């Protein structure tokens, strides 16, 4: 990793804070997250992150428009909408897009929902290890 990383999604309530917390857990620095819109932190995201010792405590959802995008060397969008908005707000930056499932679209009982959030957490972890191998050394 060469510099600060921003993860972006639609509401800054599930995928982007999970990705940021995972990279911080691995030892990343200067990591943050934002959304196209400001939402509230999703309790299922907190549950599955606690399972692996990652904390979302203190996360305050914020928007891309309220974030100084110039300070980030990498912007990784986790939804098409976030990619469009990040490119609009920071046309001089390269915005990577990772297609990541939205676990809040899953319906069913609590177990099915928590499993969907775990899948997203694990998918993000895999993508982070692939993108940032110099940081993500844990198996």
Q: What is the pLDDT of residues 87-135, one digit of tens each?
A: 999 999 999 999 999 998 898 899 999 999 999 999 999 999 999 888 7
Q: Which H helix or E strand runs over 86?
A: helix 80-89
**pLDDT for the residue 41:** 85
For residue 80, the tally of other CB atoms under 10 A from its CB is 11
The Cα–Cα gap between 81 and 16 comes to: 13
Compute the average pLDDT of residues 62-80.
96
Q: What is the pLDDT, as a whole number, of residue 58?
A: 83
Average pLDDT of every residue of the chain? 92
**In the prediction, which pLDDT does 135 show?**
79
- State the pairing for strand pair 5-9/74-77: parallel
List the domains of the chain with CATH numbers: 1-86 (3.40.50.2300)
What's residue 5's pLDDT? 95
Mean pLDDT for 71-84 is 96
Quick one: average pLDDT of 8-16? 96
What pLDDT score does 138 carry? 61
pLDDT at 19 over 90: yes
């Amino acid at each position: 990793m060469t510099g600060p990383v921003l993860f972006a999604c639609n509401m800054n309530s599930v995928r982007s804070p999970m990705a940021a917390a995972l990279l911080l857990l691995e030892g990343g620095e200067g990591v943050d997250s934002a959304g196209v819109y400001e939402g509230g932190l999703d309790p299922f995201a907190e549950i599955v992150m606690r399972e692996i010792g990652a904390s979302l405590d203190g996360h305050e959802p914020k928007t891309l428009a309220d974030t100084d995008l110039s300070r980030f060397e990498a912007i990784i969008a986790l939804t098409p909408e976030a990619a469009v908005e990040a490119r609009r707000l920071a046309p001089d930056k390269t915005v990577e897009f990772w297609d990541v499932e939205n676990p809040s679209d899953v319906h069913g009982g609590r177990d099915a929902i928590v499993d969907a959030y775990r899948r997203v957490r694990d998918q993000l972890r895999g993508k982070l290890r692939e993108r940032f191998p110099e940081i993500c050394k844990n198996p």
